[in-house]
Amino acid sequence: MSGNSSGADVPQEQKAGWASFLKSLAHMTGDLSSMTAPPFILSPVSLTEFPAYWCEHPGLFAAISEGSTPQERMERVLRWFICTLKGQYTTRNEKMGSEKKPLNPVLGEVFYGVWPDQGGRGETRLIVEQVSHHPPITAYYIENEKAGVALQGHSGQKTSFTGTSINVKQSGHALLTVKPKSGGQETYLITLPKLRIEGIVWGSPYVELTDSSAIQSSTGYTAAIDYKGKGYFTGKSHSFKATLSHGSKTLQNYEGTWTGISTVGKGPTVFLDSSSPKEEVTVQPVEQQGEWESRRFWQKVAQGIRTGNYDEAAKEKTRIENDQRQRRRDEVAEGTSWQLVHFTHVDSDPEYQKLSNMLHDKLTPAHEDAYIFKG
Ligand SMILES: CC(C)CCC[C@@H](C)[C@H]1CC[C@H]2[C@@H]3CC=C4C[C@@H](O)CC[C@]4(C)[C@H]3CC[C@]12C
């Protein structure tokens, strides 16, 4: 990083703002979401929309239950999981030019969507609820009932600044329930990778995945995934290597990029093309949404950000924040508390416990709370 290139991608009139934002990052205490950032880096999309990235390949999601053996189903889970990563971590760069700061959801904010049935695979529905504000935690449930696959999870982030990049440790996990076409039921614990946000100094942030994550099946199969950026496995950014094992027996290896082609085994057999077309979630028009639904709730703020009317966006955001503060004060005064609509908080989930014990992995804390979908 040279003095000249720093802030190269920041609009001239916001350079000072970016420089002071970078300075404030040094004092950040783990929660970046509440920090004020310069307008050019603001996204008009709330974090409650992000769980939709899990299902932008609804065909791969539905196909999991069609695998004929436990190993084949684990491989299908891995394929679907790797295929979601491009959407999860590069979409903002593609759509908005760089990673941006999403809107920080309010407690009780919800997001609903569907992927319509196509060719008989069944409809997939998405239910998201912001279940905590401090720290921000988003819970989600995605189900294709016909296919017999359902994903339940929650997600939070702990952030720290290294001086040149932001390290993001994801908290939470996802549990996938699969009813194989051949009968029975399996569950899969999905742990979440760590992120490094690079390109900060230049004002054009992007996400690289680091370290590792895992998928543990109740059938005993494990997929371990290692992530590396440029200059490690292949010299390509967004690279990964994965191994599928059962107990101490390694059964298969996979490698490639999570944004493009990956291969299986020693021969050049294609495992997946992650750049294959995705299907974005279908959402009700804003006019028909309820007042806590994300796009309606943030409509004016988003409009301000999209049109460059930042004063309007800031004014509306302040109104929302004041309203939230008042609600919390009222609850304290009345001795009540906010009631979640779709999820129940539990201090520990036996299913998570069982699978994380099977994983024997330092990555997964022995105890973790969870949000269970109420239906
Ligand atoms: C751009 C800079 C200046 C601000 C950084 C904003 C932070 C809050 C953004 C940048 C990238 C974002 C992450 C991108 C992708 C995902 C995957 C999704 O499944 C859960 C949320 C999560 C993990 C996001 C959390 C918020 C995040 C870490």
ipTM (interface pTM): 0.98
Q: Is 88 in the pocket of ligand 1 (CB under 6 A)?
A: yes
Measured in Å, residue 36 CA sits from the centre of ligand 1 at 15
DSSP H/E element including 153: strand 149-161
**Which pLDDT score, from 0 to 100, does residue 9 have?**
92
For 174, the token pair is 């996802």
**Which pLDDT score, from 0 to 100, does residue 124 have?**
98
**Which pLDDT score, from 0 to 100, does residue 1 have?**
40
Ligand 1 atom 14, closest CA: 89
* From 24, 53, 88, mutation site for ligand 1 pocket: most ligand atoms within 8 A of C-beta: 88
Measured in Å, residue 33 CA sits from the centre of ligand 1 at 9
CA dihedral sign of residues 94, 95, 100, 105: negative
Helix (H, G, I), strand (E, B) or coil at 322: helix
**Which pLDDT score, from 0 to 100, does residue 34 have?**
82
Q: Is 50 in the pocket of ligand 1 (CB under 6 A)?
A: yes
Measured in Å, residue 89 CA sits from the centre of ligand 1 at 8
Measured in Å, residue 185 CA sits from the centre of ligand 1 at 33
Measured in Å, residue 247 CA sits from the centre of ligand 1 at 34
Q: Is 90 in the pocket of ligand 1 (CB under 6 A)?
A: no
| C-alpha span between 88 and 134 (Å, rounded) | 23
Atom in ligand 1 nearest the alpha carbon of residue 47: 21
Q: Is 205 in the pocket of ligand 1 (CB under 6 A)?
A: yes
Question: Taking the domains of the chain in order of start, what are their residue ranges?
Answer: 12-211+276-287+343-373
Atom in ligand 1 nearest the alpha carbon of residue 99: 1
**Which pLDDT score, from 0 to 100, does residue 301 have?**
98
Atom in ligand 1 nearest the alpha carbon of residue 100: 1
For 219, the token pair is 């059938």
**Which pLDDT score, from 0 to 100, does residue 4 have?**
47
Atom in ligand 1 nearest the alpha carbon of residue 207: 11
According to DSSP H, which parts of the chain are helical? 15-25, 58-62, 70-96, 294-297, 299-307, 310-334, 350-359
Measured in Å, residue 121 CA sits from the centre of ligand 1 at 31
Q: Is 141 in the pocket of ligand 1 (CB under 6 A)?
A: no
* Residue 232: CB atoms within 10 Å: 13
Ligand 1 atom 1, closest CA: 100
| C-alpha span between 289 and 332 (Å, rounded) | 29
**Which pLDDT score, from 0 to 100, does residue 366 have?**
61
User: Phi first, then psi: what are they for 303, rounded to 5°?
Assistant: -60, -45
* From 93, 157, 204, mutation site for ligand 1 pocket: most ligand atoms within 8 A of C-beta: 157
Exposure letters 252-262 (e unless 16+ CB within 10 A, then b):
bebbbbbbeeb
Rounded mean pLDDT for each run of 10 residues along the chain, 375 residues in total: 68 92 88 88 97 98 98 98 98 95 98 97 98 96 98 96 94 97 96 96 95 97 94 82 96 97 92 97 98 98 97 96 97 97 96 91 68 94
